[in-house]
Structure 1
Amino acid sequence: MADAVPPAGGPPAGDFVRRYNPETDAHTVKMLVGQGVMEGLATANRRVTRHPLVLLVWLILGAALDWRMDWLPKPNSILTKVSPLMGFALVMVPIVGFAEYWHRPTWTRLLRETVGAPDMVAIDAFYHLDPKSAMIVFEHNNEVSGVVAIDGKRPGEELGSVLGAEEKQKGDVSVMEKSGLGGAKSNKSGLRQRGKKTSTPSNIVQIRHLDVDYPLRRQGVATELLAAALDHAFNIAPLGSAPTPAETVIVLSNPFAPDGEKLLKKFGFTVSASNDWPQPRSVGLLQWKGRYFELSRTEWASRRDAILKRA
């Protein structure tokens, strides 16, 4: 596994994971998180166009259009191999357009809810509300290329958003106060709020974000980040002051990132049977939704060495 902190005495040699720096990382972290949300739009559109029922309708309408417009193969035509494809191409265009038209407002709302949540509006302040909380980044060639966020303050809760579903529409500004961050204005700088009494620490933490820049995917970056997050939450190798160890880590899977669930299962996460978490919302034309997974401290301890050896 890469070093948890950069080596002293100059720039780090190679890639490493480290704690979030509000002075240099804020813009990139928000971009990575937003990118992770919007990638689901393309995935949803692709799933709609590849649905068996949609494919059946496409084939029937494409063939009917070819027959109606006389685009069938003709022995003496130089376009005999191309003309039959025209009907199918023309039918596919409105199908793709409809999927985009239907999904775009939903993903715009999801993006605004995500970037307008208290943990994104005041990143540094939110992830210092509880010792088990942390925003951890992966640095590659002096650039932040991945991020994982652990929330020990409000695990299993919806944070709300200061942004409304549409442009120029305001959300609930009181969500900042509910998260223990005071007013939204006083926390725009992302400075840690002092003297604010917080709730009793829980033995459960939640992974709220796990995003990696596209060029570095399938290169073990997500494994590095997730392992660092679990080590911090379970107080095996904390980044910063040692927190009281959590007993359980939960995470809501992304239905548009199937590799994400594979990664969670590799680490020992199992589908949570608890009814304590909010019901995941259905999203998109085919009503996809994620699932809550959980991992115990003992399970991670039993798998940790084997996973890090393969990383």
Structure 2
Amino acid sequence: MESKTPRIRPIDSSDRKLALFIVGKANFESLAVANRQAYSHPLILGTWLLLSLAFIHVMNWWPSSHRGLLGIFGYLKPLPAFASVAVPLMFLIDWNNRPHFEERTQNAIKEKDMHNPVAYYNQSPASGFWILEYGDKFIGLVALDVNDGKRTHKGIIRHFYVEEAFRNTGIQEDLLNHALTHAFDKSSALDSIEATDAPRLIPYLHECYEKSGFKLGRGSQSVGIFGYWKYCTTALQRKDWKRPSS
């Protein structure tokens, strides 16, 4: 039986559709996380409870008890009200959150690097777009852009994603370290590497960045209902980078 081993390889031209799909999937995964967190927010739960009670009162669906077996079902009368209020409330939350994440998705897949990833990331020896695989199975990807590194002395992680089933293994740390080592080794002019971090939405990447020495900056973009979720810039300085032990 052939043994499967994880490997990190450069992207090739046949991977473009996969890369576009994963970039879109990553942003809509964040939408699902945002919706779930909103559903359990105390303010949303309180609103749901108050509206449900008001609906029960208007419909006169308060519990009632009568003698006999059928009387037991009188206690279940309010339940449809809670469900009837929950469904439109969930729809409104998704309706409010969705445009922010759809915009981020469109911006990401329309970026100049996604038109021809192979050509774009071959412009600089320090840049790279890598695919992580286990046998023939896709696990994750990372794209580090250093095309303007000589001028700005800065690299940018444009895309970073690992499939949910593999996140508990910490394989994302190996993928990130591969990209960082490649960039810092190939460009002596590179002083820092930046990435976009969303601690509440993508905690596994936030933890990965922290372990690698990235530090959150001051700037942030609030998205979603109440502006509850923030996208921040996080950066790793060369002096803070620790080469992973082989």
TM-score by length of 1: 0.69
Measured in 2, the distance between the counterparts of 1:231 and 1:216 equals 22
Q: 205-214 vs 282-291, which deviates more?
A: 282-291
Q: Which residue of 2 aligns with 1:15?
A: 6
**Number of residues of Structure 1 aligned to a counterpart in Structure 2:** 239
Measured in 2, the distance between the counterparts of 1:112 and 1:250 equals 21
Secondary structure of the corresponding residue to residue 37 of structure 1: helix
1:113 positional shift? 1.3
Residue pair 1:153, 1:202 contacting (<8 A) in 2 also: no
* Of 172, 195, 199, the match for 1:251: 195
Q: Which residue of 2 aligns with 1:230?
A: 180
Q: Which residue of 1 aligns with 2:29?
A: 39
Measured in 2, the distance between the counterparts of 1:18 and 1:12 equals 18
Letter aligned with residue 100 of structure 1: D
1:96 positional shift? 0.7
Q: Deviations over 1:252-310 (max 9, x none)?
A: 1135212321221122211236xxxxx543322222321111112332226x33xx7xx
Question: What percent identity do the matched residue pairs reach?
Answer: 28
Measured in 1, the distance between the counterparts of 2:23 and 2:59 equals 47
Residue pair 2:4, 2:135 contacting (<8 A) in 1 also: no
Which consecutive unaligned segments of at least 5 residues does structure 1 have? Answer: 1-10, 156-199, 236-241, 274-278
Which consecutive unaligned segments of at least 5 residues does structure 2 have? Answer: none
Secondary structure of the corresponding residue to residue 131 of structure 1: coil
Q: How does 1:69-88 map to 2 (within 5 A)?
A: 69-76=59-66, 77-88=71-82
* Of 112, 132, 155, the match for 1:138: 132
Which of the pair is proportionally richer in helix? 2
Residue pair 1:137, 1:147 contacting (<8 A) in 2 also: yes
Indicate whether 1:300 and 2:241 are aligned: yes
Secondary structure of the corresponding residue to residue 60 of structure 1: helix
Measured in 2, the distance between the counterparts of 1:13 and 1:51 equals 43
Measured in 2, the distance between the counterparts of 1:262 and 1:251 equals 13
Residue pair 2:155, 2:194 contacting (<8 A) in 1 also: yes
Secondary structure of the corresponding residue to residue 79 of structure 1: helix
Letter aligned with residue 301 of structure 1: K
Indicate whether 1:68 and 2:68 are aligned: no
Which of the pair is proportionally richer in strand? 2
Q: Which residue of 2 aligns with 1:113?
A: 107
- Provide the alpha-carbon RMSD of the alignment: 2.3
* Of 205, 211, 226, the match for 1:260: 205
1:251 positional shift? 1.0
TM-score by length of 2: 0.86
Does the C-alpha gap of structure 1 residues 55 and 227 become closer, same or farther in structure 2, counting only changes over 3 Å?
A: same
Q: Deviations over 1:40-98 (max 9, x none)?
A: 22122223322222211111111222233232222332324433322221111111111
Q: Which residue of 1 aligns with 2:45?
A: 55
Measured in 1, the distance between the counterparts of 2:168 and 2:23 equals 18
